[in-house]
């Protein structure tokens, strides 16, 4: 069965074909004979209460510098396709929120959503983890620098980070007595106008930050991302190194705890971060890591995801012929 799949994403010409999870999903979908339709957030529109998008047919290939071919644009009603993948990277700004409001108008009885736009909107990648406080290191969210300074005094060593970024942007370690504390907090909180997160620092982060991928609430793969020497962040684009890993009992315990809530929110494709047995983030917008996992494990997480999409699509009403 050939499906029409819409991918809402960042510009296709900027994709790193050797690491991008969306590219891996599109490649596997194309291999299965599905039709790929590409658009960006700016192409999403509402006509009364129906969501539309200006899309272009897409062909992808594993060839650097020549990895895509776009067809002629057309406008489609998103209730008439089989699945919509919201794969735009953060920052989760006002325009991102507006995109989720448009996608909200898609009929969930007809179309598979990966991920559900309301689930994305309601699940800030930093704050959502606080629904499971027993899994986290001690954490606060505050705007006032004095509150965060008191937390630093209490903990001695913390990590501060903005609530809407991604890829490790703005993640900074602060220690009790650090002369840069006031300046950093003024910058990140915009002098007390913007809330940020502060978490107790986990020294074993030097051993790696585990990225676990879940599909429909079930763990399907993991890698360990080790930061380079002298770096706090383990994200690959800032020099982190991917290492093979296996799911541990603690990984599975965390996934079992959060899985039902992911399913309830329609968060089908999720990546979580675990440091020293502590959950630190739940990534619901455009989680990455599947290409690295597949290289180590020899599997296909994109294939597992598309198996789920195909099965779900069969359960829904066929697209209308309006």
Kindly indicate the confidence band of residue 238, based on its pLDDT and cuts at 50, 70 and 90. Answer: low
Instruction: Report the range of poorest mean pLDDT among 98-102, 144-148, 317-321.
Output: 317-321
Contact 213, 222 (CB under 8 A): yes
Which segments within 177-261 are labelled E, that is strand?
196-200, 209-215, 218-226, 241-244
pLDDT mean across residues, the chain:
94
> Which residue's structure tokens are 């989760």?
92
- Rounded CA separation 85/211 (Å): 21
What per-residue confidence (pLDDT) applies to 318? 58
pLDDT at 272 over 90: yes
What are 37's strand-pairing partners?
A: 6, 57
Rounded (to 5) percent helix, strand, coil in the chain:
35, 30, 40
Q: Give which of 36, 44, 20, 40 is closest to 70, Cα–Cα.
A: 36
Backbone angles phi, psi at 157, to 5 degrees: -150, 115
Q: Which helix (H) or strand (E) holds 141?
A: strand 139-142
CA dist 36 → 104, 128, 131, 322 (Å): 21, 31, 36, 20
Q: Give which of 68, 89, 80 is closest to 21, Cα–Cα.
A: 89
Q: What percentage of the chain has pLDDT greater than the value 70?
A: 96
- Rounded CA separation 154/69 (Å): 55
- Rounded CA separation 82/148 (Å): 46
Question: Which residues are annotated as catalytic?
Answer: 126, 161, 211, 225, 233, 273, 281, 283
The tens digit of pLDDT for each residue in 163-190 reads: 987 777 889 999 999 999 999 999 999 9
Q: Which residues touch 231 (CB under 8 Å, ≥6 apart)? A: 238, 239, 240
> Which residue's structure tokens are 């315990």?
253
Contact 79, 50 (CB under 8 A): yes
Q: Which domains does the chain show, CATH number per domain?
A: 4-119 (3.40.50.20), 138-201 (3.30.1490.20), 204-299 (3.30.470.20)
Kindly indicate the confidence band of residue 54, based on its pLDDT and cuts at 50, 70 and 90. Answer: very high
Q: What is the pTM of this model?
A: 0.93
Q: What is the 8-class DSSP label of residue 176? A: T
Q: Give which of 5, 61, 62 is closest to 34, Cα–Cα.
A: 5
């Amino acid at each position: 069965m050939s499906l029409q799949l819409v991918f809402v994403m960042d510009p296709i010409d900027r994709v790193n074909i050797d690491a991008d999870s969306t590219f891996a999903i599109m490649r596997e979908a194309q291999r299965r004979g599905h039709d790929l339709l590409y658009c960006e957030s700016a192409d999403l529109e509402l006509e009364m209460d129906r969501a539309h998008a200006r899309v272009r047919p897409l062909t992808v290939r594993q060839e650097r510098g020549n990895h895509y071919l776009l067809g002629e644009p057309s406008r489609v009603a998103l209730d008439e396709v089989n699945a919509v993948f919201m794969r735009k990277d953060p920052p989760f700004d006002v325009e991102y929120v507006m995109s989720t409001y448009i996608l909200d108008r898609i009929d969930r009885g007809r179309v598979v959503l990966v991920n559900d736009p309301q689930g994305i909107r309601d699940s800030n990648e930093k704050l959502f983890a606080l629904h499971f406080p027993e899994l986290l290191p001690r954490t606060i969210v505050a705007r006032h620098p004095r509150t965060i300074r008191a937390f630093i005094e209490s903990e001695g060593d913390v990590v501060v980070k903005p609530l809407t970024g991604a890829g490790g942007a703005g993640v900074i370690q602060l220690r009790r007595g650090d002369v840069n504390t006031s300046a950093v907090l003024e910058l990140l909180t915009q002098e007390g106008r913007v809330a940020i997160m502060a978490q107790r620092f986990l020294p074993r982060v030097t051993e790696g930050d585990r990225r676990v991928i879940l599909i429909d609430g079930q763990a399907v793969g993991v890698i360990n991302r080790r930061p380079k020497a002298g770096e706090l962040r383990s994200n690959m684009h800032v020099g982190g190194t991917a290492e093979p890993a296996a799911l541990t009992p603690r990984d599975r315990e965390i996934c079992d705890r959060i899985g039902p809530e992911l399913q309830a929110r329609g968060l089908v494709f999720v990546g979580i971060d675990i440091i020293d047995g502590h959950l630190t983030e739940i990534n619901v917008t455009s989680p990455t890591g599947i290409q690295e996992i597949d290289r180590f494990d020899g599997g296909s997480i994109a294939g597992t995801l598309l198996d789920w999409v195909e099965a779900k699509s069969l359960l829904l009403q066929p697209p209308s012929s309006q």
